[in-house]
Amino acid sequence: GQNIDQPTEMTATEGAIVQINCTYQTSGFNGLFWYQQHAGEAPTFLSYNVLDGLEEKGRFSSFLSRSKGYSYLLLKELQMKDSASYLCAVMDSNYQLIWGAGTKLIIKP
């Protein structure tokens, strides 16, 4: 079956760095997405990786290793507004998004 694993919850301190891991097993691979979702709101797009390596976008970076079925989202210089759930999603061979359960990130002052 298809499976996306990510930690349920993480806590970090304002100004610090946090890495959220995601491992996946899917039938085919057409890219991996990271979305941010604040409580009561719809997800918003953060990043897309389809090739191995690191994609940097401001304070956020995303890494992918296809051979290991592994990705991480790196958040630097954490701000209180970064408190949210972070969803990892993989697009399978049918171009369907398979969603992880999300990682709730709690930022403490």
**Residue 60 or residue 99: which is nearer to another protein going by CB?**
99
Tell me the C-alpha distance between 41 and 58, whole Å. 23
What residues make contact with another protein under the rule CB under 8 A?
30-31, 33, 40-45, 48, 87, 91, 95-97, 99-102
Residue 54 Cβ, how far from another protein at the closest point, in Å? 18
The least CB distance from residue 45 to another protein, in Å, is 6
CA separation (Å) from 76 to 45, 59, 62? 17, 5, 11
**Do 2 and 92 contact (CB within 8 A), yes or no?**
yes
Instruction: State in angstroms the smallest separation of the CB of 80 from another protein.
Output: 21
Name the DSSP class of 82: G
